[in-house]
């Protein structure tokens, strides 16, 4: 659902075209959803990556000469963040854990947060070799705003 929202957000806000030259911005939302639902998971992921990268490039106003190099570093960063997050079980119900298990899970969450932060620092340095520090800061700020928007739309679950 999260991926679908991001794809739809990109379609609606950017007005760019995908592989089959669809006019996503002006397309009827039902038709857009129908086309997306017919795509394979790999096609949806590729489309999302394309729209995300285009949105970031436009938002940061990346020079044409730097786009390829920045895109490579940015995609590496996102993959590494995803890899780090995948090593943590977010679905554990705290109420069913013993005190010791809860302490261990809490420590794991701190370790995960530190690894994500360390990765962010590492890639911020790599990105600064391609784009100015101000644009790296703007990128991280926009990521935080996007996360906040996603969390506003996400239904809250009681556990």
Write down the domain spans for the chain: 1-60, 61-147
DSSP string, 93-112: -GGGS-HHHHHHHHHHHHHH
Helix (H) or strand (E) holding 63, with range, is: none
pTM: 0.70
What contacts 24+ positions apart, CB below 8 Å, involve 150-157?
150/2, 150/5, 150/6, 153/5, 154/2
Burial zone of 62 (CB within 10 Å; 0-12 exposed, 13-18 middle, 19+ buried): buried
By the 8 A CB rule, do 21 and 32 touch?
A: no
- The widest CA-to-CA distance across the chain, in whole angstroms, is 55
Minimum mean pLDDT among 26-35, 61-70, 98-107: which range?
Answer: 26-35
Rg of the chain over CA atoms, in angstroms?
18
Tokens matching residue 2? 């999260």
At residue 17, the pLDDT reads: 36
The more confident residue out of 94 and 156 is 94
């Amino acid at each position: 659902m999260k991926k679908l929202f991001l794809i739809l957000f990109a379609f609606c806000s950017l007005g760019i075209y995908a592989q089959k030259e669809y006019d996503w911005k002006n397309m009827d939302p039902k038709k857009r959803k129908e086309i997306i639902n017919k795509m394979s998971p790999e096609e949806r992921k590729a489309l999302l990556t394309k729209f995300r990268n285009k949105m970031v490039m436009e938002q940061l106003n990346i020079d044409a000469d730097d786009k390829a190099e920045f895109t490579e570093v940015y995609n590496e960063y996102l993959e590494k963040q995803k890899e780090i997050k995948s090593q943590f079980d977010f679905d554990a119900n705290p109420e069913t854990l013993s005190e010791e298990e809860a302490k261990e899970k809490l420590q794991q969450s701190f370790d995960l947060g530190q690894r994500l932060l360390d990765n962010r620092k590492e890639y911020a340095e790599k990105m600064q070799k391609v784009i100015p520090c101000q644009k790296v800061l703007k990128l991280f700020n926009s990521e935080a705003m996007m996360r906040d928007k996603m969390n506003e739309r996400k239904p809250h679950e009681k556990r």
